[in-house]
Every structure is written in structure tokens, then in C-alpha cells.
Structure 1
């Protein structure tokens, strides 16, 4: 796992062989620690690495208050249950993906384009995620309790309950897998409904963030709003 600083003393990316998560720090709290939020949680084998990354930053893992899951795929939710049980964090996810995360419904099958088929097979090498309790089901616009006003942005298409996480006061947007930056900025792959995913891409781009963090690929921190707007406009349904 690689630990990459995105915003000093605020935001780090935790990059795994497939996929990534993000650690957000809020201001100083009582007892000398900082309130921590994890956006996505890697695969089932990632818990120890995530804890180690938190400690390496001089932070306390017991300050992990919440884990916000952008969608129900195994490379994003795998370690959430273990981390929540270990440190008392609450798990948040959209209402439509929460039953999948809890293991009550199967993971929805994507409608693959021909060129996505071998990539999808590679992604299935990630271990399956265990059923994970969801403490709070969110809807579009719901406050998430961190980041001076972070809220959920329903962005369906990759899955029915995919969300972006928007921190307007900090100009930060987490897109989940709706948008990818592996090579050129593009619509994410493996969508259950490509047309809805394109609409969601445009919805997220319209937020005009200064920093965009993706489920796959390096964060965008320069000319971000313009790049997102162009890529979204150029994406065909």
C-alpha cells in the first residue's frame, strides 16, 4: 500500500494494488487527537495496512469515527466491517447499496463493454467482501458529519446506490467509481447502467471542485473543475 498526501494535514490517499481509500482529518479534538473519516475501505485484507497508515501519520485509529462507502464493490468495502468493529467507527452508505453491503442482496452484475471484459476478470481477483453492517443509510444531500459540511451526492449508474462525497467548504469531491483517472480522465468502468453513469458524471462535474479524488487513479488538484467539465461533456451515453 502507498500512502500519498493530497492536502497537507487534511487528506491522504491509501493506494492498494487494486483501488484506493482516502483518510480525511478534521480539526483537533479533546485528548490530543483528530477526528478521522475514511472514504472507502479497500479489500478484506486491508485493515492492518489502513491502521498502520493512520499510526504512521501520528494519528490515533480510535479517532476513526466513520467510514463512508461510495458503493458496494469488494475493493471498496472489504475492510470496513473489521475497522468498524475494532475502533467503533460508524459505516455509512446509500440506501440502495446498503442491502448489498450487508449481504442481503447479491452484488449487481455490470453491463460490460467488450473492452471491459478482461479488466473485469482482473478485478475479480480481489477477495470477496464479507457482509458488513451499515449504521446509517443516506440519501442524496444528506449530511455526513465531517469536513465542515460534507454531504452525499447520489450518483447512480456504476451501481444503483453509488455516491459522491462533496466537501464544498474545502472544494473537495470524492467521486467513487463514477469517474476514473487511470490514463485520461474518463467515466468509470463496469457500470450497471451506462446512461445513468454518464448523467452522474455530469452531475458531479457540475460541482466544480478544486480537488477530485477517484476510486481508481491519482487525485486531480490542478485545473480540476475545467478538466472534469470537459471530460464529462465529451463522454457519450
Structure 2
């Protein structure tokens, strides 16, 4: 796993497939946005310590959606450190294992990529302590929940308007180019979500796969949104 600084108080934790983000508030509270694969808890704790932070300060884990490379280590970390697990209401049943994870409608070129992604071990059933809806406050950095359907029905973006930061989960990708995220359950909804996120005009965009956008992020998102059909 690689630990990559994004901006003050924000780091990316990059795994072989997928990534998570660590945010530190002025109070010292730590928030993890997504949680890597199911065996990643130790690596995440080591990364936190390498920043001279204490894993015991992990206060919440916000899951952007129900896929295995985002949910994986959430339960183990939450159990160890007393963190609250937060997710959108519509993906919470799949995260808990009460419903199957919704299957994507794959484009032809997505099929081999999807099979590669399935090499990540399945996430265990994971509790959700707080189910949120669009616009709900998330309790850190002035963050609010942005319901972002299309990738999954309950995909969730996290917007920190005061800081100009947007976590998009898999709604946006930067794999060689800025693009609509892949493996969507509803492409039309995913495109509408992309346009809504672009309209937030963030200065830093933290995506689920690929490097964060930290330069001209708003302009780039707006251009791609206008061109995506």
C-alpha cells in the first residue's frame, strides 16, 4: 500500500486495486473515506501511525458504496477503534450482507476490467451504524452527503464545501484520463450524477480509482461532464 499526501490534513491510501482516504480534523479526529480490501486493516493502521497519528482517533468510516474494495476492512477497524460506520441508506443492506450487491450493466470493454477487479476478496458482512440521505451532515470538516446513484443505487459522494474537497467514490475515475466511473448499474443515472458533482466546482477531487485531481479540478470535471453521453 502507498501513502500519498493530497493536501494538508488529507492523504490517499492506495492499494493494488482501489484506494481510501484519511482526513484529519483540527480536533485530531480521523475520518476514513472507504476502507480498502478485507485484509487491509493492519496496513491502514500502520499508515496512520506513520503520520504520527493514533489509530485510536479513528472516529468514523464513511463508505461511498457497497463494493468489496471499498467496504473490506471497515468492520475490523471499527471494532478495534470504536469508529462509526456511515453509508447511504440504499446501499446499507448490501453492505450488511442482507441483500446481494447489485450487478453492473457492463459495456463490452468493461468485462475484462471487471473480472480483474473481482480478484479482491469479498468483503465480510459489515455493520452500518448510521444510514444517511442526500444533504445529511457527516460530522467532519463541514462534510455533507451527496447521494450519487448510478454506480450503485446508494452510492455516496462526500462534499466538504468549506475546503473545496469532493470524494466521489467510483462515480468519477482518473485512469489515464478523467472519465465517468465504470461498472455502473444505471449509466444514465451515473451520467446525471457526474454532472451534479461537476456543478459543485470542487478544487480537489478524490476518486475511487486513479490519482486525485488537485489542479483545475472544477474546469476539468465540467468539461468532461459536458462531453459525456
2:150 to 149, 157, 160: 157
In structure 2, C-alpha distance between the alignment counterparts of 1:144 and 1:18, rounded to whole Å: 26
1:229 to 212, 222, 227: 222
TM-score relative to the length of structure 1: 0.96
Q: Which residue of 1 aligns with 2:59?
A: 65
State whether structure 2 residue 193 is matched by structure 1 residue 200: yes
TM-score relative to the length of structure 2: 0.99
Q: Which residue of 2 aligns with 1:213?
A: 206
State whether structure 2 residue 113 is matched by structure 1 residue 119: yes
Q: 2:22 aligns to what SS in structure 1?
A: strand
Give the CA deviation at 1:176: 0.4
Q: Which residue of 2 aligns with 1:93?
A: 87
Q: 1:175 aligns to what SS in structure 2?
A: strand
The number of aligned residues is 229
In structure 2, C-alpha distance between the alignment counterparts of 1:211 and 1:2, rounded to whole Å: 19
CA deviation map 1:175-209 (0-9, x unaligned): 00000001110000000000000000000000000
Q: Which residue of 1 aligns with 2:100?
A: 106
CA deviation map 1:134-162 (0-9, x unaligned): 00000000000001x10100010000000
In structure 1, C-alpha distance between the alignment counterparts of 2:212 and 2:115, rounded to whole Å: 25
The unaligned stretches of length 5 or more in structure 2 are none
Q: 1:131 aligns to what SS in structure 2?
A: coil
Give the CA deviation at 1:45: 1.0
Aligned Cα root-mean-square deviation (Å): 0.4
State whether structure 2 residue 34 is matched by structure 1 residue 23: no
Q: Which residue of 2 aligns with 1:128?
A: 122
State whether structure 2 residue 172 is matched by structure 1 residue 184: no
In structure 2, C-alpha distance between the alignment counterparts of 1:178 and 1:194, rounded to whole Å: 10
CA deviation map 1:47-87 (0-9, x unaligned): 00000000000001000000000000000000000000000
CA deviation map 1:92-141 (0-9, x unaligned): 00000000000000000000000000000000000000000000000000
Q: Which residue of 1 aligns with 2:10?
A: 11
Q: Which residue of 1 aligns with 2:161?
A: 168
Q: 1:119 aligns to what SS in structure 2?
A: helix
What stretches of structure 1 move > 6 A for 4+ residues in a row?
A: none
